[in-house]
Amino acid sequence: MNGDVIWMIGRGLLNMGLVLLVAPFCQGILRKTTARIQSRQGPPVFQPYFDLLKLLGKEDIESGETPRMQRFAAYLTLATALTVACLVPMGIAAPMNGAGDVILLIYLLTLSGICTLLAGLAAGSTYSLVGISREMMSMILLEPLFAIAIVVGAMHAQSFRLDAVLNGSVYAISGFPWSGLLLLAVMLLSFQAFVQRVPFDISEAETELMEGPLMEYSGPKLALFKYAQMAKLVIYSGLFVNLFVPWGSGLMFPLGWLLFWAKVLVLVLLVTLVAATHARYRIDQAIRYFAGLLAIAMGALVLASYGY
């Protein structure tokens, strides 16, 4: 093995560790801010770390219809999230640049949705089945949105390389970036759905479906799922920042890096604010909403292919 590969893997692991470290903190910020909006005291910012530790230390109960698949789904969902973390630049250049391209990224993002389906199937209860049917319906419309954003970036950048695409490439044309700005709007409007927060937490909807696909999860397996969800918030925010808010990423090491995380934090606060001021949509309303966004995104794709 030569030094480059070790350096690459090292930086990938560094990214992974960073996401694992920061994700509960972002969740803590989210919970604390929500509490303040709701005139509550709220849990300490570091509470999510303790929650995860507590869950990890609990008895590992086998339940649901197919416990093996349930376990597998829990491992897979966190593994997927962490693999994505290896590929996405987190304030420094994409760590595993040569190891995959943006097409792999699109696949991995879809895989994390599949994990939820697996979890729901494994539980086998009516509620979790309703939950995954909702998840599937929204996935069909949601996944193409991110894919289109990445593809448009790739078209503008004339490359599938991670470092080329995930660096504000949606605006990278000589003229006015119509397609990029359209996609920015689309992604902003659907961002809550990607990170599965109100008003689009439809597949889990505690008051309707009792957590849907997750209803049979407890203890360490639940911890993995929760961890993956927290990680997703950070990763999707990172992706969003890379694709749409690249300004300042070229600054010197500590500055560019700090700026990146500041942007991620702002995005997390935005998610919190939207979640705290909205009611949950019904699945048919959400589908109609996503379909509208998808139509706009398709329009942006067409514009991009004509060089706008």
Partner 1 sequence: MIAREMFEEFKAKFGALILRADLPNDHRLFVFIDRSAVRSVCEYIFRDLNARYVVSIGADDRPFSGDFLVAHNFALDHDNVLCSVLVHLPADHPIIDSISDIVPAASWAEREMRDLVGIEPLGHRYLKRLVLPDGWPEGVHPLRKDVRWDEVPESFDENREFRFDDPPAGCTVVPFGPFHPTLDEPAHFRLYVEGEMVRGCEYRGFMVHRGIEKLAESVMSYNDIPMLAERICGICGCVHSVAYVQAVEEAAVLKPPPRAEYIRTIMLEIERLHSHLLWVGLACHIVGFDTLFMQSFRIREPIMWIAEKITGNRKTYALCVIGGVRWDIAPEMKTELRAVLDKLESDWRPVVSAVSHDKNIQKRTRGVGVADPALVKNAGLLGPVARSAGIGIDCRHDHPYAAYDRVDFDVITERDGDVWSRVLVRMKEVFESIRIIRQCLDKMEPGPLQLEMKDELPVGRMGLSSVEAPRGESHHFVITGENNRPRRWRVRAPTYQNLQAIPNMIKDQQIADMTISLGSIDPCFSCTDRLETIDLRSGTTKVWSQDELLKLTQAKKVRP
Q: Which residues bind partner 1 (CB under 8 A)?
A: 34, 37-40, 126-127, 130, 133-134, 198-199, 201-202, 205-208, 210, 276-285
* Shortest reach from residue 171's CB to partner 1, in Å: 32
How many residues does the structure list for the chain?
308
* Shortest reach from residue 205's CB to partner 1, in Å: 7
Place of tokens 């929500």: 34
In the complex with partner 1, which residue's Cβ is closer, 270 or 276?
A: 276
Is 272:34 a contact under the CB 8 Å cutoff?
yes
CA 269 to CA 21: how far, in whole Å? Answer: 18
In the complex with partner 1, which residue's Cβ is closer, 131 or 246?
A: 131
| First-to-final CA distance of the chain | 44
Peptide bond into 43 cis (omega under 30): no
* Shortest reach from residue 208's CB to partner 1, in Å: 5
Enter the tokens of residue 40.
């509550």
In the complex with partner 1, which residue's Cβ is closer, 51 or 201?
A: 201
- CA 243, chain centre distance (Å): 13
* Shortest reach from residue 209's CB to partner 1, in Å: 8
Is 276:34 a contact under the CB 8 Å cutoff?
yes
* Shortest reach from residue 128's CB to partner 1, in Å: 12
CA 125 to CA 145: how far, in whole Å? Answer: 30
In the complex with partner 1, which residue's Cβ is closer, 156 or 280?
A: 280
Q: What are phi and psi of 101, to 5 degrees?
A: -120, -170
In the complex with partner 1, which residue's Cβ is closer, 14 or 189?
A: 189
